[in-house]
Amino acid sequence: MTRYAAMEKEISEAKQAVMLNAPKHQLVKEVREGIEHLLNMLPGDAVVQVLSGIAAIAPGVM
């Protein structure tokens, strides 16, 4: 499976978990895996920029 196809699969599973109102542990798992696959599509310096942006909007989380 290509990296792009794997990313699409994980994002689809995250969307499905949200739409089906999955239990919290399942929702967290699927969303985390989707995010991990999205970040794997970026070059390293871009990952740092994305994570910095997330840290800025969610202080105390990271």
Q: Report d(CA 49, CA 28) in Å as an integer.
A: 23
Q: Report d(CA 7, CA 33) in Å as an integer.
A: 9
Question: Among 62, 7, 3, which Cα is nearest to 15's?
Answer: 7
Q: What is the rounded average pLDDT of the residues 38-56?
A: 92
Q: What is the rounded average pLDDT of the residues 10-30?
A: 96
16 falls in which pLDDT band (50, 70, 90)? very high
- Report whether 41 contacts 7 (CB < 8 A): yes
Predicted TM-score of the model (pTM): 0.81
23 falls in which pLDDT band (50, 70, 90)? very high
